[in-house]
């Protein structure tokens, strides 16, 4: 019986009930050591009598071994890995040292593999219990949390138990589980504490009973372990001491076995007893430890301590010599077993200072791990080898390898820290340059662009004479980062420095500077034609062997010269490639490009779907700048729809950060909202500030809005420079859609715009953006109506209305209806033609489209980073919305 835990038990029962009903849920139990979290997990396991139960525990002394927690949790079911999709199976094999190809160990792909495996194991409702989650190794925690956040329509319940990070005596790190439901497990009240104590130790003398109640302070474990224990100190310390005394009372062979179990993460009975043989212990010596409630056997034949504080007591009270001997014995036992990874791990903990032999063993193991793609494990091994290296240069070399492995594993903060430590120990300037490249790239990805360009530039200067090609590459990265930071003075300085150094890519450096100089419509030094020419030079010079991020950058360059379809093709190819690879970290930049091109091409539903998925992935992967950029795509959609609250919410962060082009796109979205709602003065002032300010990157696209806002606000003179500049840009890039918009701007400023509007519509029909075409039709229709050409006006306004209604552009559709009524047409408010795709949520639309191509639920889940059951759930919800009864009917639907 659990005293005083009604709320906690209700939360657990609700979670189990939902899982039995086929809906997933996750709960985090937080509280101090001994407060009863483990007892609640025990209760959950007992209450789940009809469910499959997986149980694991984070181990403090094993938290540096990547994927140790995952291996412990899933170990009994690793035979199911072969049934996963190929890329996921490779990733999980690599992570768990089961073999696998080079580079397969992407941390998010491992999380997807865990998600799919859990879904596969949920043939009957599944309960996953993880105790001491704060001690999970980081890769295991990330994989489990990734899976937990994507569970939806599976009969799966997950419960994490974690200590409060602010409890000083626990010394526990934080288990960060943002977005998951939490319950705080607090001290028992007086009645519950007294009831528990009476139940366990009813014969205590009254005075002792009162002392125990006072000392325990409502901590259940203290109430169970303190009776008869004397002394002072906190409840935490007294519980630990009680366990230590219980261990100390065991026969010596049993004490060694308890220490060996506490020092190991797997608790393999064969390994523990083989190691115990060194100290005269055998299987029979386990009995006293089990009888004294210190050890217990698990259903899969392992040994584990009955409570995490027993491990703390066993390791904390053992002498240094005993701990070293235990790790040495475990290392030997694992070597006999053929487990190189655990052998190296325990061997490293069997020495107290620099030891080149052990360091070499760790590095050898790291190389083996690297060949299977387990980058997180590789990093831990290299870092351990560095710590044991007597030679400073060797220490630096191994730290550098650890930093690279961390970067490849998607652990940016750790990679930056290791690279900084390694740099001080490396005498070779080229080796240091490689480290700085890691640090700077990661800083740029994390939106610390000023730090990035300084690091790039400083390092480029140090290797200019040693390796001009590498120096040139670093200067180009520095210049790009300076442009991202909107520090155009730094951009020009970096370019000048690279040119003076004579790097081979000096022409590309100059071109990059010219590109951004040409983007200032109101500046004294801007050269529009030269900027466009420079951008074409950069695109022509792009190597086909460049990496994924450079290919995304090339796609964005297509947008900068108005080649929307070229950008869309690049985005589609990148997205296909990254989904096929399961490369979720690379998918977010591809979705950034794709959603922007979908928006410009009038595929608003696709833009919403891609940007929504991209935001979620960017948040998961820590790509802050990309997340903010994607928010501005969603904000633009909200602006078109007239959703002021959502547009405002989605643009707040970008405007506060002030980093282009995100801040410019955010300002443009708010201005478009104002324009649609008739707030012309507000739109005009905001846009003038953007395009005339220093952070103007991406502002070209907003110039037509500035022109329209100025004309409608009765200040056409403020529009002429913007119209002229946009017209010049359109002429340079040679895209019909841009020339059409330029003519619309000119028409707004002309006394007789008839020919300009007509020519603009002809150009729109050659290709471009439906929303912009409809705006031109609206403006033309308004002018025609004012000049009393009502029939001509209606001919222009009806296509505009159809487009606006199809795009959900409510304020713009309302304006068209107003004009049609003014043109003498009787018109009721409408909602536009029925759009099948509009009936679905973004995720339902993604799932249905893929299902219509014939993909299975498992294949769809692999592409969308969802479990197969969740895919099935979305299909189940979509069918009635679409009026179909079976998967085969989807192929005939128009879901474009």
Q: What is the mean pLDDT of residues 730-752?
A: 95
Q: Indicate the range of 404-418, 449-463, 504-518 predicted with least confidence.
A: 404-418
Confidence check: pLDDT of 436 > 90: no
Confidence check: pLDDT of 441 > 60: yes
Confidence check: pLDDT of 809 > 70: yes
Confidence check: pLDDT of 537 > 80: yes
45 in a structural domain: yes
Tokens representing 360 are: 């070499």
Domain count for the chain, please give it: 6
Q: What is the mean pLDDT of residues 727-756?
A: 95
User: What's the DSSP call for residue 270?
Assistant: H
CA distance 484 to 492: 13
Query: Residues 606, 645: one domain?
Result: yes
Evaluate whether 848 touches 840 at the Cβ level (below 8 Å): yes
With H, G, I as helix, E, B as strand and everything else as coil, classify residue 570: helix
Evaluate whether 94 touches 113 at the Cβ level (below 8 Å): no
CA distance 223 to 197: 6
203 in a structural domain: no
129 in a structural domain: yes
Residue 103: what pLDDT? 43
760 in a structural domain: no
The backbone torsions φ and ψ at residue 454, rounded to the nearest 5 degrees and listed phi first, read -65, -45
Domain that holds residue 259: 231-319
Q: What is the CATH number of the domain that holds 602?
A: 1.25.40.10
* % of the chain at pLDDT higher than 90: 49
Note the pLDDT tens digit of each residue in 258-283.
Answer: 999 999 878 889 999 999 999 999 99
Tokens representing 839 are: 């009936």
Confidence check: pLDDT of 200 > 90: no
Note the pLDDT tens digit of each residue in 31-87.
Answer: 988 889 999 999 999 999 889 999 998 887 766 677 888 988 998 898 899 899 888
Tokens representing 556 are: 């964005």
Residue 749, CA distances (Å) to 318, 507, 627, 771, 775 in order: 86, 40, 38, 21, 16
Query: Residues 34, 182: one domain?
Result: yes
Counting beta carbons within 10 angstroms of the beta carbon of residue 479, is it exposed (0 to 12), middle (13 to 18) or buried (19 or more)? buried
**Percentages helix, strand, coil for the chain, rounded to the nearest 5?**
70, 5, 25
Note the pLDDT tens digit of each residue in 612-655.
Answer: 999 988 888 778 888 999 999 999 999 999 999 999 999 999 99
CA distance 211 to 231: 11
- Tell me what the pLDDT averaged over the chain comes to: 87
CA distance 602 to 614: 19
Q: What is the mean pLDDT of residues 15-28?
A: 95
* % of the chain at pLDDT higher than 70: 92
Query: Residues 437, 562: one domain?
Result: no
* Strands 303-305 vs 295-297: parallel, antiparallel or unpaired: antiparallel
Query: Residues 420, 433: one domain?
Result: no
Residue 410: what pLDDT? 61
CA distance 45 to 876: 31
Q: Is 267 left (phi over 0), alpha (psi -120 to 50) or beta?
A: left
Confidence check: pLDDT of 545 > 60: no
740 in a structural domain: no
862 in a structural domain: yes
Residue 95, CA distances (Å) to 71, 415, 479 in order: 9, 18, 37
Evaluate whether 702 touches 722 at the Cβ level (below 8 Å): no
Query: Residues 143, 251: one domain?
Result: no
Query: Residues 421, 543: one domain?
Result: no
Residue 170: what pLDDT? 47
CA distance 171 to 194: 29
756 in a structural domain: no
- Please name the residue that has the structure tokens 């690049």: 570
| Domain end among 186, 214, 239 | 186
Q: What is the CATH number of the domain that holds 40?
A: 3.40.50.300
Quote the crossing angle between the two packed helices 252-263 and 320-337, to the nearest 10°.
70
Distance linking the first and last C-alpha atoms of the chain: 58
Evaluate whether 114 touches 146 at the Cβ level (below 8 Å): yes
Query: Residues 71, 139: one domain?
Result: yes
Note the pLDDT tens digit of each residue in 215-260.
Answer: 777 888 878 776 655 445 566 677 788 889 999 999 999 999 999 9
Q: What is the CATH number of the domain that holds 305?
A: 1.10.10
Confidence check: pLDDT of 128 > 80: yes
| Domain end among 279, 301, 319 | 319
Query: Residues 541, 657: one domain?
Result: yes
Band (328; pLDDT cuts 50, 70, 90): very high
Higher pLDDT, 376 or 398: 398
Q: What is the mean pLDDT of residues 387-403?
A: 91
Confidence check: pLDDT of 531 > 90: no
Q: Dihedral (C-alpha) 501, 507, 508, 510: value to the nearest 10 degrees?
A: 80
Evaluate whether 148 touches 158 at the Cβ level (below 8 Å): yes
List, in order, residues 6 or more apart from 573 with CB less than 8 Å away: none
Query: Residues 254, 305: one domain?
Result: yes
Query: Residues 451, 596: one domain?
Result: no
In three state form, how does the secondary structure of 126-191 look? EEEEEECHHHCCHHHHHHHHHHHHHCCCCCEEEEEEEECCCCCCCCCCCCCCCCCEEEECCCCCHH
With H, G, I as helix, E, B as strand and everything else as coil, classify residue 29: strand
Confidence check: pLDDT of 446 > 70: no
| Domain end among 152, 186, 220 | 186
Across 366-380, b (16+ Cβ under 10 Å) vs e yields bebbbebbbbbbbbb
CA distance 191 to 168: 27
218 in a structural domain: no
Evaluate whether 129 touches 48 at the Cβ level (below 8 Å): no
Helix residue spans in 601-623 (DSSP H): 604-621
Query: Residues 152, 253: one domain?
Result: no
Q: What is the CATH number of the domain that holds 874?
A: 1.10.10.10
Residue 696: what pLDDT? 65
CA distance 692 to 759: 30
Residue 764, CA distances (Å) to 551, 605, 705, 805, 850 in order: 29, 21, 17, 19, 31
Tokens representing 79 are: 């035979």
Q: What is the DSSP secondary-structure string of 473-500?
A: HHHHHHHHHHHHTT-HHHHHHHHHHHHH
Band (483; pLDDT cuts 50, 70, 90): confident
Query: Residues 39, 101: one domain?
Result: yes
């Amino acid at each position: 019986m659990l005293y005083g835990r009604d709320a906690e038990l209700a939360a657990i029962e609700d979670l189990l009930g939902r899982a039995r009903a086929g809906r997933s849920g996750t709960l985090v139990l937080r509280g101090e050591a001994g407060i009863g979290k483990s007892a609640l997990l025990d209760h959950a396991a007992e209450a789940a009598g009809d469910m499959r139960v997986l149980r694991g525990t984070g181990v403090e002394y094993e938290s540096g071994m990547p994927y140790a927690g995952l291996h412990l949790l899933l170990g009994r079911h690793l035979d199911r890995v072969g049934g996963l999709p190929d890329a996921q199976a490779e990733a999980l094999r690599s992570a768990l040292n089961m073999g696998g190809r080079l580079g397969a160990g992407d941390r998010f792909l491992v999380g997807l593999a865990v998600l799919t495996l859990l879904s596969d194991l949920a043939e009957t409702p599944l309960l996953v219990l993880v105790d001491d989650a704060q001690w999970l190794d980081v890769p295991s925690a990330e994989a489990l949390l990734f899976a937990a956040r994507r569970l939806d329509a599976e009969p799966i319940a997950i419960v994490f138990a974690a200590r409060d990070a602010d409890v000083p005596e626990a010394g526990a790190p934080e288990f960060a589980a943002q977005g998951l439901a939490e319950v705080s497990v607090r001290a028992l009240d007086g009645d519950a504490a007294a009831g528990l104590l009476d139940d366990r130790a009813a014969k205590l003398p009254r005075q002792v009973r009162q002392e125990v109640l006072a000392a325990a302070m409502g901590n259940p474990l203290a109430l169970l372990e303190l009776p008869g224990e004397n002394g002072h100190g906190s409840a935490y310390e007294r519980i630990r001491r009680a366990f230590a005394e219980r261990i100390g009372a065991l026969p010596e062979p049993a004490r060694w076995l308890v220490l060996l179990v506490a020092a190991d993460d797997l608790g393999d009975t064969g390994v523990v007893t083989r190691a115990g043989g060194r100290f005269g212990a055998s299987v029979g010596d386990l009995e006293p430890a089990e009888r004294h409630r210190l050890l217990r056997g698990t259903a899969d034949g392992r040994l584990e301590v009955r409570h995490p504080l027993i491990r703390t007591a066993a390791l904390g009270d053992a002498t240094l010599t005993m701990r070293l001997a235990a790790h040495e014995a475990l290392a030997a036992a694992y070597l006999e077993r053929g487990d190189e990874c655990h052998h190296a791990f325990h061997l490293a903990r069997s020495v107290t200072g620099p030891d080149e032999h052990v360091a070499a063993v760790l590095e050898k193991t790291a190389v083996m791990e690297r060949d299977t793609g387990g980058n997180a494990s590789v990093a831990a091994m290299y870092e351990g080898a560095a710590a044991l290296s007597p030679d400073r240069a060797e220490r630096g070399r191994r730290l550098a390898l650890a930093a690279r492995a961390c970067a490849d594993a998607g652990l940016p903060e750790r990679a930056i820290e290791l690279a900084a430590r390694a740099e001080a120990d490396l005498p070779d300037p080229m080796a240091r340059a490689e480290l700085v490249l890691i640090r700077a790239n990661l800083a740029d990805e994390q939106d610390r662009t000023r730090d990035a360009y300084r690091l790039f530039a400083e390092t480029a200067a140090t290797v200019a004479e040693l390796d001009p090609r590498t120096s040139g590459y670093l200067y180009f990265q520095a210049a790009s980062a300076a442009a991202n930071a909107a520090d155009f003075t730094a951009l020009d300085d970096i370019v000048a420095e690279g040119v003076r150094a004579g790097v081979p890519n000096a022409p590309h450096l100059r071109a990059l500077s010219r590109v951004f100089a040409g983007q200032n419509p109101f500046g004294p030094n801007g050269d529009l034609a030269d900027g466009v020419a420079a951008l074409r030079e950069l695109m022509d010079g792009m190597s086909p062997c460049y990496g994924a991020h450079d290919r995304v950058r090339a796609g964005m360059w297509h947008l900068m010269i108005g080649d929307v379809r070229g950008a869309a093709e690049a985005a589609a190819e990148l997205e296909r490639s990254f989904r096929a690879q399961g490369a979720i970290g690379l998918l977010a930049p591809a979705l950034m490009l794709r959603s922007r091109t979908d928006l410009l091409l009038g595929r608003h539903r696709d833009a919403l779907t891609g940007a929504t998925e991209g935001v979620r992935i960017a948040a998961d992967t820590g790509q802050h700048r990309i997340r903010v950029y994607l928010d501005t795509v969603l904000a633009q959609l909200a602006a078109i729809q007239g959703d002021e609250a959502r547009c405002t919410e989605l643009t707040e962060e970008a405007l506060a950060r002030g980093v282009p082009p995100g801040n410019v796109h955010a300002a443009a979205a708010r201005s478009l909202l104002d324009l649609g709602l008739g707030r012309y003065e507000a739109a005009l002032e905001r846009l003038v500030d953007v395009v005339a300010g220093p952070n103007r990157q991406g502002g070209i696209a907003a110039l037509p809005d500035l022109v329209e806002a100025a004309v409608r606000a009765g200040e056409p003179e403020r529009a002429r420079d913007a119209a002229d500049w946009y017209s010049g840009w359109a002429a340079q890039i040679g895209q019909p859609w841009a020339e059409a918009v330029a003519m619309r701007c000119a028409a707004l400023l002309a006394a007789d715009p008839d020919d300009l509007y007509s020519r603009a519509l002809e150009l729109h029909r050659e290709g471009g953006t439906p929303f912009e075409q409809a705006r031109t039709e609206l403006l033309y229709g308004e002018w025609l109506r004012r000049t009393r050409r009502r029939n001509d006006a209606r001919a222009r306004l009806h296509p505009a209305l159809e487009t606006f209604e199809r795009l959900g552009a409510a304020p713009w559709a309302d304006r068209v209806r107003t004009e049609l009524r003014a043109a003498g047409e009787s018109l009721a408010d409408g909602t536009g033609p029925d759009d099948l795709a509009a009936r679905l949520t973004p995720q339902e639309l993604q799932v249905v489209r893929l299902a219509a191509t014939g993909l299975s639920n498992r294949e769809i889940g692999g592409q969308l980073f969802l479990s197969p059951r969740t895919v099935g759930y979305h299909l189940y919800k979509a069918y009635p919305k679409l009026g179909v009864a079976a998967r085969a009917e989807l192929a005939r639907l128009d879901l474009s």
